[in-house]
Amino acid sequence: MARRSAMAGVGVGLGLAAAGAAAAAGGLAARRRSLESLPYDGTGPFAHRPDKVMQVRASDGVDLHVEIDEPEGVTPDRPTVVLSHGFTLSLVGWVLQRKALIKAGYRIVTWDQRSHGMSGRSDAEHCTIEQIGDDLAAVIAAAAPEGPLVLVGHSMGGMTTVSFCGRHPEIVRERVLAIALLGTSIGGEGLVTLGMGPALDILLLRFGPGLLVNIGARQRLWDGLRKAGRSVEAAMVKHYGFGPDAPPAIIRLSADMIFSTRLDAVAAFMPHLHALDLVDEAVAIHGVEVLVMNGDQDEITPPQHSRYIVQHLPHAEHELLPETGHMLQLEQPARVNQQLLDLIDRGMRAGLPHPRTGATA
């Protein structure tokens, strides 16, 4: 039987599934404990230690956690690859791409978006697509101030990347060689659809944010429920995030990221994801090498979202991965890594500067 193709919203289906399972953790200390428990400490297939860790101050004062990998022998003509993660995730989800890119000799910048991972907590007013586009600009200014760039975004990280391009087109023209948009959307139709029917979806969108904030305030209760419901977590994440054959280890890794995200962050971003419209911002990407990838069983940003991107960026390379869900960079790392390396090669061959094709006055 074909899997249901509901537009569950960029990580929101996962985030609300978390709330429904009573599994999300709130509070900085609990989030850090959960993140530190991930197999990311020097052992196991997901182990990785960066060469440098820094805090970057965003325009509104939020500290953004940034990690830098600097393999030996990197030359100034080789681009820095900047990886932006998705909603309810963290930079941990890029570990397999980091390994491949380091092996290929590229400098890498990864970061946690505001109120995610190890970054500081944001107020709701600044949990917007515009702000996270500016956050990416701040990260680039601090961690990769010179030289060519390749920008890679997954899910909400793809929206962050497109927002950045629209708000900082001069940097795109002068420095960006290539862009990869993985399992993401530029809008065009309501993203936050939970597959429960229009009436119930509207009620959840209207009252869900307040509900999530109230749940997040009861930290001890929900931490206890989370301990009792890890199998429920994994089942929900597998349903919304992966294809049928995803290994349990990456499902668990993803669940730990998702259920460590603050519920008030989920609540704050939800309305902006629902109202997303980045078509005009995508204009700034014209003239840059672009890769669009999506899983054919993605229930968060289904394939019609990637096809809509390609309609507005017809020069993009487009690949739909079979039997793959939303977390394609973990589920199909070999294919994603090879496509990223090929994209970087195309970008380096094309070079700079970019023509102002499609630019608006």
Neighbouring C-alpha atoms within 13 Å toward the C-beta of 338 = 4
Per-residue exposure over 255-285, b if at least 16 CB sit within 10 Å of its own CB, e if not: bbbbbbbbbbbbbbbbbbbbebebbebbbbb
Q: In the 8-state DSSP scheme, what is residue 187?
A: B
What confidence score (pLDDT) does residue 286 get? 83
As a whole number of angstroms, the distance between CA 150 and CA 148 comes to 7
Extract the tokens encoding 216: 């997040």
Q: Give tens-digit pLDDT for 119-144.
A: 999 999 999 999 999 999 999 999 99
- CA-nearest of 6, 15, 223, 50 to 127 is 15
Edge-first strand listing for the sheet containing 107-111: 52-57, 63-69, 107-111, 80-84, 149-154, 176-182, 289-295, 317-321
pLDDT at 193: 45
pTM of the model as a whole:
0.83
Q: 151-170, pLDDT tens digit by residue?
A: 999 999 999 999 999 999 99
The amino acid occupying position 194 is L
Domains of the chain: 12-348 (3.40.50.1820)
Q: What is the DSSP string of 221-254?
A: HHHHHHHHTHHHHHHHHHHHH--TT--HHHHHHH
Residue 223 has a pLDDT of 57
How far apart, in whole angstroms, are the C-alpha atoms of residue 322 and residue 304? 14
What is the reported pLDDT for 280? Answer: 93
> What residues of the chain score a pLDDT lower than 50?
1-42, 192-209, 211-212, 215-216, 219, 357-361
The Cβ of residue 352 has, within 10 Å, a number of other Cβ atoms equal to 13
Q: What is the pLDDT of residue 170?
A: 94
Q: Please give the Cα distance from 159 to 308 (Å, whole number).
A: 14
Q: Phi/psi of residue 108, each to 5°?
A: -130, 135
The reported pLDDT for the residue numbered 342 is 98
